[in-house]
Amino acid sequence: MIFFQLNTLALGGLHFNVEALAQLRYLSFFFFFFVLNLLTYFTTFASGCLHTP
């Protein structure tokens, strides 16, 4: 009985780790696109400032 409980606990921890990894990957993708948009915005802003006399 104790072995069964430990086994389910280990499986639950593994499932939790997979869920956390999926959330972390989603957050990293969101952060990457956010930084990419920020960089493109700043580069276009800088080029506009440089092009204006």
User: What is the pLDDT at residue 38?
Assistant: 93
Range of the domain at 36: 1-45
User: What is the pLDDT at residue 20?
Assistant: 79
Tell me 46's DSSP state: H
52 inside domain: no
Count of structural domains, the chain? 1
User: What is the pLDDT at residue 6?
Assistant: 65
51 inside domain: no
User: What is the pLDDT at residue 50?
Assistant: 73
d(CA 31, CA 48): 26
Give the model confidence (pLDDT) of 1-53 as tens digits.
566 666 666 676 677 777 777 888 888 899 999 999 999 999 988 888 777 65
22 inside domain: yes
53 inside domain: no
30 inside domain: yes
